[in-house]
């Protein structure tokens, strides 16, 4: 079930690309008369149009990739209890068990189970993401953070569908069609696997300490 961890490349290439663009633009700014020649026109087109557009696209791509990381989600203090809940030393807690046993890549733990959240969701979800940034800086953060829509089984099934433990599991096949109802999202996985991010009761729990290897 362990997914290949997507490595986010350091932005060195992009930084170099931006610096080269700036150097070329500076040349055009200080010697605008070169745009009277054919070579100058090509240089101006490259430096004032093509390179900046490419730099912006590469930068946006770097950010979108980075936004999949657990560190990105937990960079807002509102999310930190949810990050802490991944370290609960109790295998009954579904997110903690997944995180600690590498059932999800640890550096993309949030994204793996919330693939339709904010930046990765539809337009409505993206606008909610913008609203979250606004609320973080200028608004009032609600005491309890809830998902906008019920948790979809899709998030579980993109790994568990086809897995023997899911397909042949006694409980999943106990009643006729239960597995069909799970696959069609008519019965929630959370109706049985209900212990998830219980951030209101973190104080009385013990936590697993991850050893850096």
Partner 1 sequence: MILKTGMQRRIQIAGILIVLGLLVELGSLFSPRPSAFITFMFVGGLFLGAGILLYLYSLVVPGRTE
Interface residues with partner 1 (CB under 8 A)? 11, 14-15, 18-19, 21-22, 25-26, 28-29, 32-33, 35, 44, 47-49, 52-53, 55-56, 59-60, 62-63, 66-67, 69, 71-72, 75-76, 129-130, 132-133, 136-137
Q: What is the 3-state secondary structure (H, E, C) of 160-194?
A: HCCCHHHHCCCCCCCCCCHHHHHHCCCCCHHHCCC
Token pair belonging to 108: 């993309």
Closest distance between partner 1 and the C-beta of residue 140, in Å?
Answer: 17
Residue by residue, DSSP assigns 12-42 as: HHHHHHHHHHHHHHHHHHH-GGGGGSHHHHH
Question: Given phi > 0 = left and psi -120 to 50 = alpha, else beta, which region is 79?
Answer: alpha
Closest distance between partner 1 and the C-beta of residue 7, in Å?
Answer: 16
- Residue (34 or 157) nearer to partner 1, CB: 34
Closest distance between partner 1 and the C-beta of residue 104, in Å?
Answer: 20
Distance CA 116, CA 152 (A): 10
Residue pair 114/155 in contact (Cβ under 8 Å)? The answer is yes
Distance CA 1, CA 158 (A): 10
Distance CA 196, CA 90 (A): 11
Closest distance between partner 1 and the C-beta of residue 14, in Å?
Answer: 7
Closest distance between partner 1 and the C-beta of residue 42, in Å?
Answer: 13
- Residue (121 or 129) nearer to partner 1, CB: 129
Hey, is 88 helix, strand or coil? strand
Closest distance between partner 1 and the C-beta of residue 111, in Å?
Answer: 14
- Residue (72 or 111) nearer to partner 1, CB: 72
- Residue (60 or 141) nearer to partner 1, CB: 60
- Residue (127 or 180) nearer to partner 1, CB: 127
- Residue (134 or 208) nearer to partner 1, CB: 134
């Amino acid at each position: 079930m362990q997914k290949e961890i997507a490595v986010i490349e350091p932005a060195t290439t992009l930084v170099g690309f931006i610096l080269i663009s700036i150097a070329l633009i500076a040349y055009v700014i200080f010697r605008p008369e070169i745009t009277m020649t054919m070579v100058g026109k090509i240089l101006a087109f490259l430096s004032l149009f093509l390179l900046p557009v490419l730099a912006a696209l590469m930068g946006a791509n770097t950010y979108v990739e980075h936004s999949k990381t657990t560190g990105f989600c937990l960079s807002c203090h509102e999310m930190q209890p949810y990050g802490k809940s991944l370290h609960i030393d109790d295998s009954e807690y579904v997110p903690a068990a997944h995180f600690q046993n590498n059932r999800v890549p640890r550096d993309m733990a949030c994204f793996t189970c919330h693939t339709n959240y904010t930046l990765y969701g539809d337009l409505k979800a993206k606008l909610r993401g913008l609203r979250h940034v606004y609320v973080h800086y200028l608004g009032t953060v609600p005491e309890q953070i809830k998902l906008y829509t019920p948790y979809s089984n899709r998030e579980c099934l993109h790994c568990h569908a086809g897995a023997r433990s899911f397909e042949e599991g006694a409980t999943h096949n106990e009643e006729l069609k239960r597995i069909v109802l799970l696959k069609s999202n008519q019965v929630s996985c959370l109706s049985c696997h209900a212990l998830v991010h219980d951030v209101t009761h973190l104080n009385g729990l013990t936590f697993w300490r991850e050893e850096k290897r």
